[in-house]
Chain A
């Protein structure tokens, strides 16, 4: 058996050095063959996504931001998958492309979020201010004109929503502020516009009412007699003598004074040209003193019959009557069943100066609706 001769001395050193050289060369070749990792583009991508997150893109640009996050996660997982392969078969192209997409989407999401947030901040700032102004205007009006109870309750609830919107705005949660604002806006504006529309519709008759009042005052001047004009909107009773204003008194009416009296029990005060037909005092009235007018006159009766024929009133409806100017006013509310109430002291004056046959013209309003819709200010 032939023995293999191991290298001796110098040969051994040369062989060892050769092995080492081969190993080191392999090492260098391996390093050189490594596919460079997409570190740079990946870092840019997560920084773009991070910046977008700082700009609240998750809230203000959620779709684009979610897309950016998805791309970033896909880039990370493909990178991880490539790292598990042998170095010579690695390919980071997909990772780099996904990272590029994440970077792009992240940047877009960040810019979009800033733009949307700024725009929402402005939108809610002005929206809240505008709605608060409407709330104040409507509140001021509602103290003077009858507002539908359901409408008012909705309005008050929406007023709280405006406040909620403001608190959300103060803590920079513009999305909640906007949502609350959008919930409140139709209710506030709806209440205001419904009331304003019915007011505008009602005040279309102002020219006719002015003519009635002018004719009554002219009659007072021509006959040098006393005449009464009641302005329901102003809640005033004007006493004229010889065409000149002698006195004006605050009055209270029926709770549904906005509109013409249509039937018995509707708590409305009629509009029309009437005369005093009876003066009552002591046991004749429970309201201190009273001046009964000739409601319903022929015009009222005709309107009533027409309305009933059109089906606007129930068949069993009756026209009502016993409309008076009487005492016990000063309650601070429109509380009568359709009469005009004065404080007793004023009633004394009026009672003294009037007589059977004195004209009483009751009008909705002598003033029109100004451009800003603020009829009563």
Chain B
């Protein structure tokens, strides 16, 4: 009986060794790396910077935790925290990817709207040019305004090129600049026409 108890104790010790030698969560580590790559491809570092940075922090913490556990004696390893951190990092990268996609789409839509609005605005400015007073400093001013309109058309073309190369932030900046300029041109022309109408009445 006592021999059986002794053998059982030895068996338990051996079992502890076997069960205690837990494996590092390799698959989760690979999944986290893949999630980070996906987030980078989605330009999360540009369009969802804070979320991307937080996700990278989670991954760094998880990797450190894994190595810390790997450094321990096999029986004392515990990857529960590392697993939780890796799961959280994967979720964070996914959130960053989703947010980046949403933000990118938002910026793309804004740039797209601005670009779509620019063409009719340029046309409107050209029509106003035809109505604008030519006398009393008018012609010289109109020549300058024509140069402004040409520059806006060139800005629009640059914005369209940036859209084609999927650089939506640059496209939006360029479109906003062109829109700001064409609005001031239209305002200037409307003021000049308004003054002309006022002087006639």
Chain A residues within CB distance 8 Å of chain B: 9, 12-13, 16-17, 19-20, 23, 27, 30-31, 34-37, 39, 42-43, 46, 49-50, 53-54, 56, 58, 72, 76, 79-80, 82-83, 87, 90, 92, 139, 142-143, 152-153, 156-157, 159-161, 163-164, 166-168, 171, 173, 176, 330-335
Interface residue? B40 (CB, 8 A): no
* Interface 0/1 of B45-85, CB less than 8 Å to A: 10001000100110011011001101111011000000000
User: A153-B147, A156-B147 in contact; A333/B76 too (CB < 8 A)?
Assistant: no
Interface residue? B138 (CB, 8 A): yes
A92: chain B residues within 8 A (beta carbon): 71
In the complex formed, the residue of A with least CB distance to B174 is A164
Interface residue? B152 (CB, 8 A): yes
B3: chain A residues within 8 A (beta carbon): 12, 16
Q: Do B13 and A20 have beta carbons less than 8 Å apart?
A: yes
Chain B interface category by residue count: 35 or more
Q: Do A160 and B177 have beta carbons less than 8 Å apart?
A: yes
Write 19 A-B pairs (CB below 8 A) sorted by A numbering. Answer: A12-B3, A16-B2, A27-B73, A37-B68, A43-B61, A50-B56, A54-B53, A58-B45, A83-B71, A142-B144, A153-B150, A156-B148, A160-B177, A171-B169, A331-B134, A331-B135, A332-B134, A333-B137, A333-B139
Assembly CA distance A176 to B173 (angstroms): 10
Interface residue? B6 (CB, 8 A): yes
Q: Smallest distance from the beta carbon of A127 to chain B beta carbons, Å?
A: 16
Q: Do B173 and A333 have beta carbons less than 8 Å apart?
A: no
In the complex formed, the residue of B with least CB distance to A166 is B177
B70: chain A residues within 8 A (beta carbon): 80, 83
Assembly CA distance A347 to B123 (angstroms): 40
Interface residue? B136 (CB, 8 A): yes
B177: chain A residues within 8 A (beta carbon): 160-161, 163-164, 166-167
In the complex formed, the residue of B with least CB distance to A146 is B140
Q: Smallest distance from the beta carbon of B118 to chain A beta carbons, Å?
A: 12
Q: Do A332 and B144 have beta carbons less than 8 Å apart?
A: no
Q: Do B151 and A19 have beta carbons less than 8 Å apart?
A: no
Q: Smallest distance from the beta carbon of A50 to chain B beta carbons, Å?
A: 5
- Contact partner, B6, options A12, A50, A167, Cβ 8 Å: A12
B176: chain A residues within 8 A (beta carbon): 163-164, 167
Assembly CA distance A332 to B140 (angstroms): 7
Mostly helix, strand, loop or mixed at chain A's interface? helix
User: A12-B6, A332-B134, A333-B139 in contact; A168/B173 too (CB < 8 A)?
Assistant: yes
Q: Smallest distance from the beta carbon of A212 to chain B beta carbons, Å?
A: 27
Chain B residues within CB distance 8 Å of chain A: 2-3, 6, 9-10, 13, 45, 49, 53, 56-57, 60-61, 63-64, 67-68, 70-73, 75-76, 133-141, 143-144, 147-148, 150-152, 154-155, 169-170, 172-174, 176-178, 180-181
In the complex formed, the residue of B with least CB distance to A43 is B64
- Contact partner, A156, options B6, B57, B151, Cβ 8 Å: B151
In the complex formed, the residue of A with least CB distance to B73 is A31
User: A34-B73, A83-B71, A333-B139 in contact; A53/B151 too (CB < 8 A)?
Assistant: no
B13: chain A residues within 8 A (beta carbon): 20, 23
Most chain A beta-carbon contacts within 10 A, residue among B72, B138, B152, B178 = B72
User: A142-B144, A143-B144 in contact; A164/B173 too (CB < 8 A)?
Assistant: yes
User: A12-B3, A83-B71, A330-B135 in contact; A157/B151 too (CB < 8 A)?
Assistant: yes
Most chain A beta-carbon contacts within 10 A, residue among B3, B45, B170, B172 = B3
Assembly CA distance A72 to B49 (angstroms): 21
User: A143-B137, A167-B173, A332-B134 in contact; A50/B73 too (CB < 8 A)?
Assistant: no
Most chain B beta-carbon contacts within 10 A, residue among A35, A42, A56, A90 = A42
Q: Do A9 and B2 have beta carbons less than 8 Å apart?
A: yes
Q: Do A152 and B139 have beta carbons less than 8 Å apart?
A: no
B67: chain A residues within 8 A (beta carbon): 37, 42, 76, 79-80, 83
Assembly CA distance A333 to B145 (angstroms): 14
Q: Smallest distance from the beta carbon of B145 to chain A beta carbons, Å?
A: 10
Q: Do A12 and B139 have beta carbons less than 8 Å apart?
A: no
B170: chain A residues within 8 A (beta carbon): 176
Q: Do A332 and B64 have beta carbons less than 8 Å apart?
A: no
User: A34-B72, A330-B136, A332-B137 in contact; A163/B6 too (CB < 8 A)?
Assistant: no
A35: chain B residues within 8 A (beta carbon): 71
